[in-house]
Chains A and B, each alone.
Chain A
Amino acid sequence: MSCDTEGASKAVTRQYMRDMSVAALTYVAVLIVSVFVVRRLDPPQWVAIALALASAAPALLMMRAYMRRFNGLDEFQRRVQMESMLAASAIVGFGTFTYGFLESFAGFPSIDGALLWVFPATCFVWGIAQIFVARRYK
């Protein structure tokens, strides 16, 4: 009997891994093309904008994959996810906010392309936060 529950959970995880793999592969493929075109071919501005938007688009696929997984979780698992997300938003948000002031007021070096790292950093901290949040409920 218990195998059914575990199986359902595994099915959700399998679907998530499949969706996430497709999104990651799409991201890598689009990024390779975009970087090549922007650095080697010096495209007009509108092409550069289109490539920038295309490079960000696979992140939407990742978010969709995650939302599918989220909808397959039970209420407790959702709570762990939400608390972790809140912690990640607070940590990354406060970190970037603080560094912004250090840049403006104290002459700290401006990090080139810093905005590019906000989303990956949030996802990374979110993943780490899940370990600690889940441990609190054990």
Chain B
Amino acid sequence: MRNRLKVLRAERNWSQADLADKLDVSRQSVNAIETGKYDPSLPLAFKIAKVFALTIEQIFSDDEVAQAAE
């Protein structure tokens, strides 16, 4: 799964620690999600969407769908 977390975070000038604090998770978790090494659970994905005031689809996309779009 792909995500725009790093870009969205940079747009808001948040550090990984800032985002981790808002999501109530560890900074390592934010890093693992950003690098695409870890896919968050649905509840965490909703929480991320809420923090950025976006929908889940605006942040996360399926690898195959993203490749097809490119």
A5-B24, A5-B27, A137-B32 in contact; A79/B17 too (CB < 8 A)? no
Contact check, A137 vs B17: say whether CB atoms are below 8 A apart: no
Residues of B contacting A: mostly: helix
* 15 chain-A/chain-B pairs, Cβ below 8 angstroms: A2-B15, A2-B17, A2-B18, A2-B27, A5-B21, A5-B24, A5-B26, A6-B17, A75-B40, A75-B44, A76-B26, A136-B37, A137-B32, A137-B37, A138-B37
* Contact status of A77 and B17, CB under 8 A, knowing A136-B37, A137-B37, A138-B37: no
- Interface: A4 (CB within 8 A): yes
A85 interface residue (CB < 8 Å to B): no
Partner of A75, one of B15, B25, B27, B37: B25
Cβ–Cβ contact A137 & B26, under 8 A? no
Chain B contacts for A73, CB-based, 8 A: 26
Contacts of B21 in A (CB 8 A): 1-5
Decide yes or no whether B28 CB sits under 8 A from chain A: yes
In the complex, the answer to whether A74 meets B38 with C-beta atoms within 8 Å is no
Q: Mark A45-89, 1 if CB is under 8 A from B, else 0.
A: 000000000000000000000000000011111010000000000
Interface string of B21-55 (1 = CB under 8 A from A): 11011111101110101101100100000000000
Residues of A within 8 A of B56 (CB): none
Report the separation of the CA atoms of residues A79 and B21 in the bound assembly, to the nearest whole angstrom. Answer: 19
A77 to B20, CA, bound (A): 13
Q: Decide if B20 touches A137 in the complex (CB within 8 Å).
A: no
Cβ–Cβ contact B20 & A2, under 8 A: yes
A sample of 17 more A-B contacts (CB under 8 A), given A6-B27, A76-B29, is: A2-B15, A2-B27, A3-B21, A5-B21, A5-B24, A5-B27, A6-B17, A9-B26, A74-B24, A74-B25, A75-B44, A76-B38, A136-B37, A137-B31, A137-B37, A138-B31, A138-B35
